[in-house]
Structure 1
Amino acid sequence: MRLNEVVYTDALPVEGYGPGFFRIGGEKHEAPLLTWAKGTSAWGGYDDAKTLAALAKEVDVLFVGTGSEIAHLPADLRDALEEAGLGVEVMSSPAACRTYNVLLSEGRRVALAVLPVT
């Protein structure tokens, strides 16, 4: 079996998560949060469409983690992201973290906005 070293872009992968937090770049961050090539910061959750819509020209796809279980995005958030032209994939937070890490390892321009798991 041949093993390849994974090399990430400027963005850091999600190393782990637990109730109310995510570990990124060796640091524990309280959720909800947004992480991408330009850093990791708090995210205002479903009421903070403006922060996510601003990523439209910066990333190819935004993964939105909806917590422990997959859920629909509120209509106003979904509409704002569509209007901005942002590609969005919605899934549970654990699945969003895994998918984000895989695409990040491929050098893709991705972002992750996640709600905490319980």
Structure 2
Amino acid sequence: MRLNEIVFNDAKPVEGYGPGFFRIGGQVIQGAVITAPSGTRTWGGFDDIPALEALAAHTDVIFIGTGSEIAHLPTGLREQLEKAGVGVEAMASPAAARTYNVLLSEGRRVALAMLPI
């Protein structure tokens, strides 16, 4: 078996999560979070559409973690992101974190916004 080291460049993978927090690139963040190659910061949730739209120029798809359970995104949020030309996929936050990490390791142009579990 051959093991290859993954180089994430400027993007930081999700290393862990728990009740109310995420650990990304060695940093613990309380509450909702956005992470992309441009950086990691807190997120205002579904109403914070401008923060997600700002990722559109450098992102093909944004994974949105809806917390511990999968939930539908508000229609306005999905419409605004699609209008900005970025794909959006909603899933439970643990699944969104795993999917983001895999695609990030492949060098894809992805971003992640998650609500805590």
TM range, smaller chain: over 0.9
Which stretches in structure 1 are left out of the alignment for 5+ residues? none
TM-score by length of 2: 0.96
Q: Are 1:49 and 2:49 counterparts?
A: yes
TM-score by length of 1: 0.95
Q: Distance in 2 between matches of 1:113 and 1:50?
A: 12
- 1:114 is aligned to 114
Q: Distance in 1 between matches of 2:82 and 2:5?
A: 36
Structure 1 residue matching 2:58: 3-state secondary structure? coil
Q: Give the alignment of 1:35-74 within 5 angstroms.
A: 35-74=35-74
Q: Distance in 2 between matches of 1:114 and 1:9?
A: 21
Structure 1 residue matching 2:6: 3-state secondary structure? coil
RMSD, aligned α-carbons: 0.9
Q: Distance in 2 between matches of 1:102 and 1:49?
A: 25
How far is the alpha carbon of 1:72 from its aligned partner? 0.3
Name the aligned partner's letter for residue 84 of structure 1: A
Name the aligned partner's letter for residue 18 of structure 1: G
Q: Distance in 1 between matches of 2:54 and 2:28?
A: 25
Q: Give the alignment of 1:1-118 within 5 angstroms.
A: 1-117=1-117
Moved beyond 6 Å, runs of 4+: none
Greater alpha carbon shift after TM alignment, 69-78 vs 1-10? 1-10
How far is the alpha carbon of 1:23 from its aligned partner? 0.2
Structure 1 residue matching 2:57: 3-state secondary structure? coil
Q: How many residues align?
A: 117
